[in-house]
């Protein structure tokens, strides 16, 4: 026999002592081959926003090769599509049924052939863009608002069987929308897709001046009571994210503690991201505003419109009196000459030119956040086809991390304050 060297023996013993791989408690299955957009990748973003990091993802197509019992909870993306077609293979059905006998299953608009796992039978499709009314007397619905919440997209209606528990219904007086049975819970709608639509608006309204204020903005995609302006004080998207979190916590309670990070630092109940558009103010006036915020113990982002008018002395002051004190300097791109048709090229040029000035003056090649003059929003691709995410794509080219153009400003709109009073017209107060 070949002699084992001392270092080889030590390595062998070390490997024997190392713990075997332990899977995180949650597995998110991704159906990226779905013929329709299902936003399954957004499920992970929801969990991270809710402070849950103990999960991993895997393609649904690999379901037959995954040891499902390694996981305490499996989250299944939409498998009953918008054309009422079931997407699970027969082998997947068998695997999920076997897992559900001992594991915990969360599903969004599941294949109707496994409806019984959730204590329901599929009744019929519900009207698109329905309302959700949560039963707050249930463990999962506890502390969720009793007011109706908007749902965007296709919905499935259920009828409870003898073991099913109604978590929520379509309002008013509709079929069961969310139900649970033992170790499984089903959402009758595609939660991640709904959250995207709630937060980002109606893509069918992109690239048109629906509120007749002579400019195209993100708020145009929220006309026609997209998110019920009477409920602005309720963060409707966030409430539905917490429904999912409650379900996960409910299942994990009897297994092991699930660590969660709080939403804000130092366990604060809320936080404010303070920003200001410099518009045509002088730099001296802008610095005065920054100093007022600093004196109150805060920091802020200053969006400068006239970057090209800053002097070398201004730049030195920005370094010492703004950047060095934890505040951000960013740009306020001006594309108002194209306000009625904000093209990909015009917005790219508006952002790129101002970033060029900022980089030359302060050696800042990009910015963390951005807000456009008149909060204009580009919904045109380079080939002039409509895409409500075009503005996001442009900003990503410049490595911008957060867009701050989603706020309501009823400048000269004959519709008046059509997005309601103070609150959150996008249904969320969280960064995702």
What is the domain range of residue 237? 26-201+222-252
pTM for this predicted structure: 0.89
Does 430 fall in a domain? no
In a domain, 322, yes or no: yes
pLDDT tier for residue 2 given thresholds of 50, 70 and 90? very low
Give the pLDDT score at 345. Answer: 97
Q: In this structure, are 241 and 324 located in the same domain?
A: no
How far are the Cα atoms of 44, 118, 149, 431 from residue 237, in angstroms, in the given order? 15, 23, 8, 12
If asked whether residues 181 and 87 sit together in one domain, one would say yes
Residues 360, 305, single domain; the answer is yes
- The two three-digit tokens of residue 8, written as one number: 């080889």
CA 157 to chain CA centroid, Å, is 25
pLDDT higher than 60, residue 22 = yes
Q: How many CB atoms lie within 10 A of CB 391?
A: 24
Q: Which residue has the higher pLDDT, 107 or 38?
A: 107
**pLDDT value, residue 419:** 87
pLDDT at site 20: 55
Report for 31-35, 261-265, 370-374: range of highest mean pLDDT: 370-374
Residue 298 lies in a domain: yes
Percent of the chain with pLDDT over 70: 94
Mean pLDDT (whole number) for 94-112: 96
3-state SS, one letter per residue, for the chain: CCCCCHHHHHHHHHHHHCCCCCCCCEEEEECCCCCCCCCCCHHHHHHHHCCCCCEEEEEHHHHHHCCHHHCCEEEECCCECCCCCECCCHHHHHHHHHHHCCCEEEEECCCHHHHHHHCEEEEEEECCCCEEEECCCCCCCCCCCCCCEECCCCEEEEEECCCCEEEEEEECCCCEEEEEECCEEEECECHHHHHHHHHHCCHHHCCCCCCCCCCCEHHHHHCCCCCCHHHCCCCHHHHHHHHHHHHHHHHHCCCCCCCCCCCCHHHCCCCCCCEEECCCCCHHHHHHHHHHHHHCCCCCEEEECCHHHCCHHHHHHHHHHCHHHCCEEEECCCCHHHCCCCCHHHHHHHHHHHHHHHHHHHCCCCCCEECCHHHECCCECCCCCECCCHHHHHHHHCCCCEECCCCCCCCCCCCCCCCCCCCCCCCCCCCC
In a domain, 18, yes or no: no
pLDDT at 76 over 70: yes
Mark whether 117 and 227 lie in a shared domain.
yes
The answer as to whether 47 is a domain residue is: yes
d(CA 341, CA 381): 12
User: How deeply is 306 buried, as exposed, middle or buried, from its count of CB atoms within 10 A (0-12, 13-18, 19+)?
Assistant: middle
- Looking at every residue in the chain, the average pLDDT score rounds to 91
Are residues 238 and 301 both part of a single domain?
no
Shared-domain flag, residues 46 and 186 = yes
Task: Report the percentage of the chain scoring pLDDT > 90.
Answer: 77
Is residue 11 a part of any domain in this protein?
Answer: no
Interhelix angle 312-321/283-295, nearest 10 degrees = 10
Sign of CA dihedral 249, 254, 259, 262: positive
Indicate if the pLDDT at residue 7 is higher than 80. no
> Are 40 and 219 a contacting pair, CB within 8 Å?
no
Q: Is residue 11's pLDDT more than 60?
A: no
**Each residue of 277-322: pLDDT tens digit?**
999 999 999 999 999 999 999 999 999 999 999 999 999 999 999 9
Are residues 183 and 298 located together in one domain of the fold? no
Neighbours of 415 (CB within 10 A): 12
The CATH number for 128's domain is 3.40.50.880
Residue 15 pLDDT: 47
pLDDT in tens, 390-432: 999 999 999 999 999 998 876 678 888 888 887 888 999 888 8
Regarding whether 319 and 242 lie in a shared domain, the answer is no
List the structure tokens of 137: 């007397």
- The confidence score (pLDDT) of residue 71 equals 96
- 108, part of any domain: yes
* Angle at the Cα of 346 from the Cα atoms of 285 and 373, rounded to 5 degrees: 25
* CA–CA separation, 190 and 150 (whole Å): 13
- Whether 245 and 292 map to the same domain: the answer is no
Same domain flag for 288 and 228: no
Q: Based on the domain organization, do 169 and 113 belong to the same domain?
A: yes
Question: Residue 431 domain-assigned?
Answer: no
Residue 19: per-residue pLDDT: 52
For residues 93-103, give the mean pLDDT.
Answer: 95
- Number of domains into which the chain is organized: 2
The per-residue pLDDT for 6 is 55
Q: CA triplet 420, 167, 424: central angle to 5 degrees? A: 20
**Predicted confidence band at 212 (pLDDT cuts at 50, 70, 90)?**
very high
- Dump pLDDT digits (tens) for 113-146: 999 999 999 988 777 888 999 999 999 999 999 9
CATH number at residue 333: 3.20.20.370
**342 and 197 fall within a common domain:** no
Q: List pLDDT tens digits, range 151-200.
A: 999 999 999 999 999 999 998 888 999 999 999 999 999 999 999 999 99
**What's the CA gap between 222 and 208, in Å, rounded?**
12
pLDDT for 265 equals 87
Beta strand pairing status for 149-150 and 176-181? unpaired
């Amino acid at each position: 026999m070949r002699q084992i060297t001392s270092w080889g023996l030590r390595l062998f013993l070390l490997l024997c002592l190392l713990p075997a791989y332990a899977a995180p408690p949650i597995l998110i299955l991704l159906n990226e081959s779905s013929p329709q957009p299902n936003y399954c990748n957004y499920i992970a973003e929801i969990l991270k926003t809710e402070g849950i990091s103990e999960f991993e993802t895997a393609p649904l197509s690999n379901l037959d090769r995954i040891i499902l019992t390694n996981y305490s909870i499996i989250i299944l993306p939409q498998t009953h599509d918008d054309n009422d077609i079931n997407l699970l293979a027969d082998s997947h059905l068998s695997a999920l049924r076997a897992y559900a006998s001992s594991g915990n299953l969360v599903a969004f608009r599941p294949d109707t052939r496994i409806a019984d796992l959730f204590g329901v039978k599929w009744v019929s499709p519900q009207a698109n863009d329905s309302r959700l009314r949560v039963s707050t007397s249930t463990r999962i619905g506890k502390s969720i608002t009793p007011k109706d919440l908007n749902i965007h997209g296709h919905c499935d209606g259920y009828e409870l069987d003898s073991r099913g528990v109604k978590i929520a219904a379509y309002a008013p007086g509709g079929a069961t929308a969310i139900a649970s049975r033992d170790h499984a819970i089903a959402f009758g709608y595609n939660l991640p897709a709904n959250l995207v639509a709630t937060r980002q608006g109606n893509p069918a309204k992109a690239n048109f001046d629906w509120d007749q204020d002579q400019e195209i903005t993100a708020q145009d995609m929220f006309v026609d009571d997209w998110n019920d302006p009477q409920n602005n004080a309720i963060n409707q998207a966030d409430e539905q994210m917490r429904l999912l979190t409650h379900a996960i916590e409910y299942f994990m309670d009897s297994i092991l503690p699930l660590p969660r990070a709080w939403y804000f630092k130092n366990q604060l109940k809320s936080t404010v991201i303070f920003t200001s558009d410099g518009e045509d103010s002088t730099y001296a006036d802008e610095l005065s505003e920054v100093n007022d915020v600093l004196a109150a113990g805060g920091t802020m982002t200053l969006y400068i419109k006239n970057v090209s008018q800053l002097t070398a002395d201004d730049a030195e002051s920005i370094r010492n009196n703004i950047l060095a004190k934890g505040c951000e300097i960013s740009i306020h791109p001006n594309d108002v000459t194209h306000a009625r048709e904000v093209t990909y090229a015009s917005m790219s040029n508006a952002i790129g030119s101002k970033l060029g000035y900022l980089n030359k003056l302060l050696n800042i090649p990009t910015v963390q956040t951005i807000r456009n003059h008149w909060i204009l929003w580009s919904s045109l691709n380079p080939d002039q086809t409509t895409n409500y995410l075009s503005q996001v794509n442009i900003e990503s080219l410049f490595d911008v991390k957060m867009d701050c153009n989603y706020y309501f400003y009823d400048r000269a709109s004959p519709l008046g304050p059509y997005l309601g009073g103070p609150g959150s017209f996008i249904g969320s107060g969280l960064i995702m």
